[in-house]
Amino acid sequence: DADVTQTPRNRITKTGKRIMLECSQTKGHDRMYWYRQDPGLGLRLIYYSFDVKDINKGEISDGYSVSRQAQAKFSLSLESAIPNQTALYFCATSDAGNQPQHFGDGTRLSIL
């Protein structure tokens, strides 16, 4: 079983719809992150959380919200999806300190 699991793996939806992407981990890490990846732009941080009650905005948080329901779960929501949110989304986790991040397999999201 994967240590960092993202659901769904693929999603196609329409403009204006509310979307939730889920991430769960079995690594026991406190820190969780959401990134999006676009061709030519690399990975960009959307939100991150260092603990259950801790939520922080990343570089590109506008249009997104997150919820850290438990240490193992971190979900990303698009309240009203728009086409330029079409991207590959990754969840990642890490231990405290300057430790490497471990990524889920990604969610490919297409908004028509």
Partner 1 sequence: GQNIDQPTEMTATEGAIVQINCTYQTSGFNGLFWYQQHAGEAPTFLSYNVLDGLEEKGRFSSFLSRSKGYSYLLLKELQMKDSASYLCAVTEAGSYQLTFGKGTKLSVIP
Binding site for partner 1 (CB under 8 A): 31, 33, 40-45, 48, 58-59, 90, 97-98, 100-106
Q: How far is CA 48 from CA 13, 33, 73, 85, 112, in A?
A: 25, 4, 12, 18, 27
Query: Is residue 87 a contact partner of residue 6, using CB atoms and an 8 Å limit?
Result: no
- The least distance separating partner 1 from the CB of residue 31, rounded to whole angstroms, comes to 8
- The least distance separating partner 1 from the CB of residue 39, rounded to whole angstroms, comes to 10
CA atoms within 13 A on the CB side of 110: 4
- The least distance separating partner 1 from the CB of residue 70, rounded to whole angstroms, comes to 21
- The least distance separating partner 1 from the CB of residue 107, rounded to whole angstroms, comes to 11
Query: Is residue 34 a contact partner of residue 91, using CB atoms and an 8 Å limit?
Result: yes
- Judged by beta carbon, residue 19 or residue 46, the one nearer partner 1 is 46
- Judged by beta carbon, residue 19 or residue 90, the one nearer partner 1 is 90
- Judged by beta carbon, residue 65 or residue 103, the one nearer partner 1 is 103
Peptide bond into 8 cis (omega under 30): yes
